[in-house]
């Protein structure tokens, strides 16, 4: 069951107006087409491991735990291709020689990591797992590509899962994961050659796929729980574009007031987007203990995933770097 949330954002705020000084875009276009007003970018001295470590530490503080039995890091913007970042985070947090590894499912990474953590607990490998999702897309954005430069931002979120009773609030009641590798080119980073390497995205096609896959995956977990869409108190979708969030809510028949849209100040933070949206929703009071909650994400791969849970009485701790 989920027992604590943490998050960390870089201090550097980049507004649409600032971006428009170097990218061929406008504040009006970005706000109306994506719902984004600003995003965070790391400074030169901060990297994805720093954000991940801070978010992980915050989640441990929130869960009032000094140690866990395993650590899973979700990132698609690692500091280096190998080794995995998770062992270094475990070491920086003083967690000892615990199992620690990365999962890469782009924007669906948090849900993939969460289900991996739940699997480690069910298999008896761990009693508690720290799940961290951290991204620094600013490091792989082509500054001349207005379609990606305006959307993505940096950030990290984390959650602690621990063994609990299946009927306790915070237990993962249903999970759904999927992929379609035949469309892997829709969002990818070319292997080599040219400048960068930078992220490349076919925005329109991704947009359509995101709405379709997120809606279907959400429906699967809602049904698996024996709920109807009217029973969902809060839908927490991946924050890729406010228009995608609205379209998914409309397709599922879930009112906008019961759907989290927390993209305006942070943009699309890929794997970190769901834990960051959860922290924002807890802060505003939109997410409260007892709420029947559905988390759902879509990303490159293509990958998608959803989870349903009754929101537990947990704390969320945030910091900036």
Instruction: Supply the residues annotated as catalytic.
Output: 107, 238, 268
Which 290-319 residues touch ligand UT7, going by CB under 6 A? 298-299
> With respect to ligand UT7, which residue has the nearer C-beta, 87 or 299?
299
- 115, 177 Cβ separation under 8 angstroms: yes
Position 75 contacts ligand UT7 (CB under 6 A):
no
Position 198 contacts ligand UT7 (CB under 6 A):
no
> With respect to ligand UT7, which residue has the nearer C-beta, 161 or 240?
240
SS3 194: coil
CA dihedral 202, 204, 208, 211 (to 10 degrees): 90
- The continuous run of DSSP H or E covering 96 comes out as none
Position 147 contacts ligand UT7 (CB under 6 A):
yes
For ligand UT7, which residue of 31, 101, 188, 207 counts as binding (CB under 6 A)?
A: 207
DSSP secondary structure of 203-237: HHHHHHHHHHHHHHHHHHHHHHTT--GGG-SEEEE
What is the DSSP code (8-state) at residue 175? E
> With respect to ligand UT7, which residue has the nearer C-beta, 33 or 223?
33
Q: Where are the alpha helices (DSSP H) in 139-272?
A: 146-149, 203-224, 242-252
Write down the least CB distance from residue 64 to ligand UT7, Å: 33
For ligand UT7, which residue of 51, 84, 221, 240 counts as binding (CB under 6 A)?
A: 240
Position 150 contacts ligand UT7 (CB under 6 A):
yes
Phi, psi (rounded to 5 degrees) for 294: -120, 125
Write down the least CB distance from residue 91 to ligand UT7, Å: 30
d(CA 102, CA 84): 6
Q: Assign residue 193 a region (left: φ > 0; alpha: ψ between -120 and 50; beta: otherwise).
A: left
Selected range binding ligand UT7 among 64-72, 115-123, 164-172, 201-209, rule: CB under 6 A: 201-209
> With respect to ligand UT7, which residue has the nearer C-beta, 22 or 122?
22
Position 208 contacts ligand UT7 (CB under 6 A):
no
- 52, 75 Cβ separation under 8 angstroms: yes
Number of residues this chain uses to bind ligand UT7 (CB under 6 A): 22
Q: List interacting residues with ligand UT7 (CB under 6 A).
A: 25, 29-30, 33-34, 107, 146-147, 150-151, 187, 203-204, 206-207, 210, 240-241, 244, 268, 298-299
């Amino acid at each position: 069951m989920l027992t604590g949330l943490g998050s960390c954002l870089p201090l550097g705020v980049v507004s649409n107006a600032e971006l428009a000084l170097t990218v061929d875009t406008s504040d009006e276009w970005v706000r109306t087409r994506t719902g984004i007003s600003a995003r965070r970018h790391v400074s030169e001295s901060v990297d994805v491991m720093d954000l991940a470590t801070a978010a992980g530490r915050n989640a441990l503080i929130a869960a009032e735990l000094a140690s866990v039995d395993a650590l899973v890091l979700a990132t698609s913007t690692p500091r280096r291709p190998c080794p995995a970042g998770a062992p270094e985070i475990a070491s920086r947090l003083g967690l000892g020689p615990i199992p620690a590894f990365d999962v890469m499912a782009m924007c669906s990474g948090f849900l993939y990591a969460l289900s991996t953590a739940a699997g480690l607990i069910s298999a008896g490998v761990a009693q508690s797992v720290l799940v961290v999702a951290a991204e620094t897309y600013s490091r792989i954005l082509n500054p001349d590509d207005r379609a990606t430069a305006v959307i993505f931002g940096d950030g990290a979120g984390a959650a602690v899962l621990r063994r609990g009773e299946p009927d306790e609030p915070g237990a993962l009641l249903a999970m759904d994961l999927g992929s379609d590798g035949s469309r892997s080119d829709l969002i990818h980073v070319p292997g080599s050659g040219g400048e960068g390497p930078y992220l490349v995205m076919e925005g329109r096609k991704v947009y359509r796929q995101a709405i379709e896959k997120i809606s279907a995956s959400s429906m699967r977990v809602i049904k698996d729980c024996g709920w109807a869409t009217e029973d969902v108190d809060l839908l927490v979708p991946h924050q890729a574009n406010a228009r995608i969030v609205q379209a998914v809510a409309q397709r599922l028949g879930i009112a906008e007031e019961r759907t989290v849209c927390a993209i305006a100040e942070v943009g699309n933070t890929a794997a970190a987007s769901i834990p960051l949206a959860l922290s924002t929703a807890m802060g505003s009071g939109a997410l409260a203990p007892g709420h029947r909650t559905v988390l759902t994400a879509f990303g490159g791969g293509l990958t998608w995933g959803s989870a349903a849970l009754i929101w537990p009485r947990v704390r969320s701790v945030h910091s900036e770097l």
